[in-house]
Structure 1
Amino acid sequence: MGGRGSLNHSCPMTTYASGARASALCLAVLAATVITAQPAGAAGVRTPALTWRPCAGPQDPPGKECATLPVPLDYRDPGGPRLGLAVTRVRSERPAARRGTLLVIPGGPGGSGLSRMTAKGAALSRATAGAYDLVSFDPRGVGGSSRAGCGLAPEDRHLVTLRSWPGPDGDIAENTARSRRIAEACHRNGGAVVRSMTTANEVRDIDRLRRALGEEKLSAWGVSYGSYVAAVYAQKYPRHTDRWVLDSTGDPDPSRVEWGWLANTAVGADDRFPDFAAWAADPARGELRLARRAADVRPLFLALAAKLDRAPKPSTTPGVPLTGNRLRQAMQNALVGDDLFEELARLVRAAGDPAAEPVLPAAVAGPLPDEDAAVTMATVCNDVRWPASLPAYRRAVAADRVRHPLTGGMPVNVSACAFWKDAPADEPTRITGDGPADILMIQNRRDPNTPYAGALKMRQALGGRAVLVTLGHGGHGAYLGNGNACGDRTVTAFLTTGRRPQQDTYCAD
């Protein structure tokens, strides 16, 4: 699900801001980035105190601190080997106004909480006016926390190959071979750390962090996949939730989490693409105007992608041509935010110009680091069993290419998870309305990654626990993310005063 740039648009498949990268590297030194053995017995299960150190980089909010939280590699063996999680905090500057801790839960799977705090910490501090200490973390496998890779070949670590884009005629044979190869490599090389990357363990890690912080209750802001993590935590630990914000959520159906979310992105692209089309047909775009009418942008894009399927075009990245699928992947990435439309329009313009050499966006130009690819794949494959029938995948791809040509059958195609060797260690959590009425959901109406229809399923599952604020906006990420003053005001009021709308409500764009 994620934020910008991952398999579901979050940190592993985006470029980190320089300050966030520096913080992550610093934390990699401070954190226990290898498994450390711990003695069995009471000392091995005791929640450790956090030792805070200054860690603010040039782009971080003032006063940012960092620490390392040891967590069990396997919670069934709490006295056994441990991992180190990189944790960050910005303390309230108004102790008299402080009501507790607000946990920022990153998206992904594979998103970095340290990067999230660099990007949003200052704005969140201003919005909440000292009501909270702000805390976030890099989940196991991410950034400054303990990491592990699968030993994947570089050609298997491109975003456009980790995501199973079918061949030009819809063939999935190459996808099938690659998916088997990735699953076997992760089983062979990933070890216990890769097997431990699950939503259930992230939720356990959060509760361990809560105890290490000395808090009876946490407030939270979870975005994208982080909103699902937040929902699972609220289900498992309802008495430890205070004010809970779910931002940009997917369908929580326990039989479809992860693979169902990916399938839903076909609808998400259809919902969102008209916003790009309107932008690209605006006369104010000058040389980046792609068509005179918004209705002409979609057929232009589809025709260009089909042309590149037949004849890929050399790009400025040596050895990496612009193919139809790279164009489709760049489109899917750009639908996350209006500020990415210009980059996509430049790519489309260059792709259609015989004299131009396309400049590939960074997210589709090269392979991901092995550890980033591993954490993203591992979490989605470890959480739930994926369908395994190849004939069913072939039929689904053929049908989806007709219904949703923008995404070309990729969202329903076979992936490494179909061949994953290890069964889920935990059953997916069923989200219900059991628990306090302390959840506020906020959702863009035209979200490409967590489509509105899926958010409505989460809203239905939560029942009386939640109220939904719908924004008449496109893109992924709602609070402090797209300039909708009504939505920002509503969430801020909830976090700072506890007031929620009495019923589901709508904020116009």
Structure 2
Amino acid sequence: MTKIKRNAALLAASAAVLSLTAPVAATASTPAAPDAASTTAPLDWKPCEGSGLDPRQECATVEVPMDYAHPEGEQIGIAVSRIPAENPDARRGALLLIPGGPGGSGINNPSGKGQKLPRAVRDTYDLIGFDPRGLGRSSPVSCDFEHADLATSALRPWPAADGSITGNMTVARRTSDACARNGGELIRHISTANQARDLDRIRAALGERKVSAWGVSYGTYVGAVYSQLFPHRTDRIVLDSNDDPDPTRVSRAWIAGHEQGVEDTFPEFAKWASEPGNPNRLAGTAAEVRPMFLRLAAELDRAPIPWPGANPEELNGNVLRQTLLNTLHDPDGFPGLAKLILAAQRGTVPPAPQAPPEPVLQNAVAVGSAVLCNDVEWPASTAAYEKAVAESRGKYPLTAGMPRNAMLCAAWPFRPKEAPVRITDGGPSNILLIQNERDPATPLAGALKLRAALGKRATMVTVNSTGHDAYLANGNACGDQTVSHYLATGERPTRDTYCD
């Protein structure tokens, strides 16, 4: 498989983990990396491998410590890429394109999403992509999970039809044991704080005193942590589709947020699915779509439909629920979900969706799992999850208790090496948040918590739009123009704004 196809597959694979995503302030046992300007070698840029890339994109490798508590110990490689600023006379510096996930590849972002940036921004910055530690070309890891455990509806801990989580706890133990057995030493050092430290090594290797960044989804937490640990190294920071920074729960809060995110977003699907003239119309009114969906999911719980080539090889209630969650990320996917629902009502299924190649999926899932479990300690008590799942199922039936259930982190064999970063208002006022009002993966409620934590350091643009990824994707022209203007000129709105 070519490198470009491999990295596209890594991006798709990361959705299976979250679809998603350091010490308190900077005072825990593992230190923030030193300046690194004098210890990081200049980069040896060469043409990137693969087809379909912008011919200007070039690649290099930055060597970083596997364990920042022992910076002179074993080193690992972080793959980086760049497309230089298109107008050298207007060049301001480097713009880090921080991918989501966790488990998302970013090495080809300069050739991909970077080219969606307006010319004024591309003139201003070298566009910098990278694969996070452990992923793709950056010293890859794998847990060698069983094939069935790579199913998205298994990675997301959907309870059994009766609400039981016994099976989820069994999967958690099996998959966490696989990571302990096959992940090597590196898997213990894959975390958001270490990714932020890697970014500062990249900054130093680029020869930049400061860097700008555009972080998306989980990348907003990476960007916030970098801004917390290295505030004096930040220039213009854009955080797009924002994670809840709760330092007591971290990844647990991100996943828990899906229950509210789906509730925020589902009415838009219901409205679309009931429009007259829609060839995939599901109901006569929007109010009828929700009970119809819940009935179908319950029917599929009782009588799944065989689905050859899928993983699992059946369309059951949880696969339908997971498909809903995936689809709400992008309204362009609404027709596909409606067609699946219509087929299931007839007792049939469409062709099975194509999964990424298994080695690519194994890699992305291992990295995503490591971040989720190494960033914060998860409860191990089955009873605690049973109580949380029961409450969630009652209040948020569309997500059936999954967002508060036990992932493999409930049985993770390693303790976090440091406390989560606490995001604060200490630092320069140079952060712009952009957030869709209706986002299933990073809901507005969580984004507002990040906004509150950053205080005077940030302003926020809330966009009247539906879907995940606001800037240059599922947002609107007002939001796009606001962010582009900030990146190109440094001029931010003076107060939080709403883009209708």
One fold, TM greater than 0.5? yes
* 8 A Cα contact 2:20 2:255, kept in partner: no
RMSD: 2.0
Instruction: Find the residue that maps to 2:248 and give its secondary structure.
Output: coil
1:118-267 paired onto structure 2 within 5 Å: 118-124=111-117, 126=119, 128-267=121-260
Count of paired positions: 473
Q: Distance in 2 between matches of 1:232 and 1:275?
A: 33
TM-fit CA distance, 1:366: 8.3
Assess if the C-alpha contact under 8 Å between 2:217 and 2:469 holds in 1.
yes
Change (3 A) 1:202 1:154: same
Distance 2:201 2:256 in 1: 33
Residue segments in structure 1 that go unaligned for 5+ positions in a row: 12-42
Task: Say whether the 8 Å CA contact 1:159–1:367 is kept in structure 2.
Answer: no
State how far apart, in whole Å, the 2-side matches of 1:193 and 1:139 are: 12
Stretch deviating more after TM superposition (319-328 or 231-240): 319-328
Alpha-carbon distance in 1 for matches of 2:415, 2:114? 37
Q: Name the amino acid aligned to 1:195.
A: R
1:330–1:365 CA distance, 2 compared to 1 (3 A): farther
Residue 430 of structure 2 corresponds to which residue in structure 1?
438
Find the counterpart in structure 1 of residue 354 from structure 2: 362
Q: Distance in 1 between matches of 2:16 and 2:213?
A: 22
Bigger relative contact order, structure 1 or 2 (CA pairs below 8 A, ≥6 apart): 2
CA contact (8 A) 1:343 1:361 kept: no
Do the aligned partners of 2:225 and 2:423 also contact (CA within 8 Å) in 1? yes
User: Contact 1:444–1:473 at 8 Å: present in 2 too?
Assistant: yes
Percent identity at matched positions?
52
Q: Would you say the 8 A contact 1:316–1:357 is kept in 2? A: no
CA spacing shift, 1:188–1:56, aligned 2, 3 Å = closer
Identify the residue that residue 382 of structure 2 maps to in structure 1.
390
In the TM superposition, what whole-angstrom CA distance separates every residue of 1:61-115 from its partner, at most 9, and x where no partner exists? 3411111111111112222222111111010121001011111111110111124
Task: Tell me the secondary structure at the aligned position of residue 244 of structure 1.
Answer: strand
How far 1:5 moved relative to its partner? 2.3
Tell whether the 8 Å contact from 1:101 to 1:135 is kept in structure 2 after alignment: yes
- Does the CA contact (< 8 Å) of 1:109 and 1:225 recur in 2? yes
Q: Partners in 1 of 2:334 and 2:354 — Cα distance?
A: 15
Which deviates the most, 364-373 or 121-130?
Answer: 364-373
Query: Is this contact kept in 1: 2:241–2:469, CA < 8 A?
Result: yes
Greater alpha carbon shift after TM alignment, 107-116 vs 334-343: 107-116
Residue identity opposite 2:447 in structure 1? A
CA distance in 1, matches of 2:70, 2:408: 28
2:270 aligned counterpart, secondary structure = helix
Q: CA separation of 1:364/1:273 partners in 2, compared to 1, >3 Å: closer, same or farther?
A: farther
Tell me how far apart the structure 2 counterparts of residues 150 and 125 of structure 1 sit (CA, whole Å). Answer: 40
TM-score computed with the length of structure 1 as normaliser: 0.89
The equivalent position to 2:90 in structure 1, one of 83, 87, 97, is 97
- CA–CA separation in structure 2 for the residues paired with 1:97 and 1:115: 24
* Deviation by residue 1:255-309 (Cα, 9 ceiling, x = unmatched): 01001110111110110111111111122321x1111111111111111111010
CA contact (8 A) 1:248 1:478 kept: yes
Kindly tell me: are residues 115 and 325 of structure 1, through their superposed partners in 2, closer, same or farther at Cα, counting changes over 3 Å? farther
- Tell me which of 64, 74, 79 is aligned to 1:71: 64
What corresponds to 1:268 in structure 2? 261
Mark the runs of 5 or more structure 2 residues left unpaired by the alignment: 1-10, 22-35
Distance of 1:455 and 1:190 partners within structure 2: 32
Q: Does 1:413 align with 2:423?
A: no
Q: How does 1:315-394 map to 2 (within 5 A)?
A: 315-317=307-309, 320-354=313-347, 356-362=348-354, 369-394=361-386
- What CA distance in whole angstroms lies between the structure 1 residues aligned with 2:164 and 2:486? 49
Return 449-458 or 319-328, whichever deviates more: 319-328
The amino acid across from 2:405 in the alignment is N
Counterpart-to-counterpart distance in 2, 1:221 and 1:169: 42
Q: Partners in 2 of 1:365 and 1:78 — Cα distance?
A: 34
Aligned to 1:5: 15
Distance 1:103 1:174, change over 3 A: same
Measure the CA separation in 2 of the matches of 1:74 and 1:464: 33
Read off the aligned partner of 1:101 and give its amino acid letter: A
Does the 8 Å contact 2:136/2:363 carry over to 1? no
Deviations 1:447-498 (CA, angstroms, capped at 9, x unpaired): 1001100100000000000000000111111111125110011001111111
The answer as to whether partners of 1:106 and 1:222 remain within 8 angstroms in 2 is yes
Deviation at residue 222 of structure 1 after TM alignment? 0.5
Contact 2:44 2:60 in 1 (8 A): yes
Distance 1:171 1:315, change over 3 A: same
Which residue of 2 is the match for residue 495 of structure 1? 487
The alpha-carbon deviation at position 359 of structure 1 amounts to 2.8
Q: Which amino acid aligns with 1:311?
A: A
CA pair 56-181 structure 1, distance change in 2 beyond 3 A: closer
Answer yes or no: is 1:461 the counterpart of 2:453. Answer: yes
| 1:120–1:450 distance in 2 versus 1, CA, 3 Å | same
Counterpart residue number, 2:415: 423
CA deviations 1:429-458 (Å, max 9, x no partner) are 111111111000000001100110010000
2:97 is aligned with what amino acid?
V
- Aligned to 2:235, the other structure's residue is in SS state strand
Q: Distance in 2 between matches of 1:310 and 1:127?
A: 56
Q: 1:369 to 1:251 in 2, by over 3 A?
A: closer
User: What TM-score, normalized to structure 2?
Assistant: 0.91
Q: Deviations over 1:368-388 (max 9, x none)?
A: 732222111111000101122
